[in-house]
Structure 1
Amino acid sequence: MIELYFPQSCGEWLAWFVAWGFVLVGLFYLIWPKIAMRMFWTYPQQESASLLAAVRGNMGGLPLGLGIGYLLFAQPFLAVALFLAVFFCIVGRLVSFIIDKSFSGFNVIALLIEIVFAIASFVYAFGFVA
């Protein structure tokens, strides 16, 4: 039977908390997609079942699956996957700052949280913290 692995070192704890962050964000999008869209100021022209399916599937399922995968198996390559996922979230947000002119207080706070998640998973995945 698969058991929940509890971290033994500081680096493992960092990646473990990042994985829990992924799980919580994924559950939020999966369970409350309408609230998530309102919270992030995304007001679609027409709310449809396919829109909610896209939010639940893409924005909820992916981080949820990645976070649960790390929590169950706790392998260093999964910490690299966590890092890459957060890294490209940062890249996407920075591109949006430049192209879409989306620079706002909320986006800066979200960027800072993503940077913390990226650093936490990076230092463990690449051996800077044992």
Structure 2
Amino acid sequence: MMRHTGMNPRSLHARAILATLLGAFVLCACGQAGRTGIPESGPSSASQPITRPTVISADGRTLTTDIPIGGCQRGRLSGTESDTTVSLTLTLTTHEKKGEACAANIGLEPVSFTLQKPLDTRKVVDQATGNPLTITKP
């Protein structure tokens, strides 16, 4: 025997669906507690593989490549030198400040490393991957 509650079955069905969806939303939101879309931590750095062309300056002493960055990020190219090899490290640092939003746009920023002496015949390698880099002239 069915009891009459004064509500139409479609309305009960719609409420059940709404309650299920609301419960799923609440459960998903629990994992996001404290996330406001605004960065909350200090600077963090990570080594990146060099994926863009690397160019040597006309005097043979400055290596330059581009790094895709955005918002609160900065790129840096550093290196170590020996008589036969130059090893480059590309670092991406994110500067997040509590309460400030970072822009979402991404662009290419040139980063350079100046050698102690001209490159000449030395090999250039990417420190992150160990792969040799092809060096082009301007």
Instruction: Note whether the superposition's TM-score is higher than 0.5.
Output: no
* Greater per-residue helix proportion: 1
Higher Cα Rg: structure 1 or 2? 2
TM-score of the pair, normalised by structure 1: 0.22
* Greater per-residue strand proportion: 2
